[in-house]
Amino acid sequence: MKIFAQISYGLSGLFVLLGLYKLYAYKNDDYDNLINAYVEGDAWNMLINKGFATSYFLLALVCVVTGTSIFVYEKLNAIHRTLKGEPEPIVEDSSDDVEYN
């Protein structure tokens, strides 16, 4: 499950970069070289890009919370197994099989 947390953190980094791109990359010179321009007015384009950036930042926050929740769940699960007296699972990176001591 640790891989899912790492993927979640990676996605959050991607969403932050996409949000920053929407905020700072803008060009509305002519109709051939438009960057993050949707309508003719600059103010409207900035409002649209601000909405997109906010959405990407919110997705990044959700991914960070999800990844952190997975790490906390794994740690609490390990503590619970220790208190119950169950052996710790040994997980090798090369295979998905779980062995017990």
Q: What is the pLDDT of residue 32?
A: 76
Categorize the per-residue pLDDT at 28 as very low, low, confident or very high, splitting at 50, 70 and 90.
confident
* CA separation for the pair 97, 39 (Å, rounded): 55
For residue 66, give both structure tokens.
Answer: 């999800």
Entry pTM: 0.77
User: d(Cα 97, Cα 27) in Å, to the nearest integer?
Assistant: 52
Neighbouring-strand partners of residue 75: none
- Number of alpha carbons in the 13 Å side-chain half-sphere of residue 14: 7
Name the residue ranges covered by the structural domains of the chain. Answer: 2-100
H-run or E-run covering 53? helix 42-84
Kindly report, residue by residue over 45-97, the tens digit of the pLDDT.
999 999 999 999 999 999 999 999 999 999 999 888 888 887 766 666 655 55
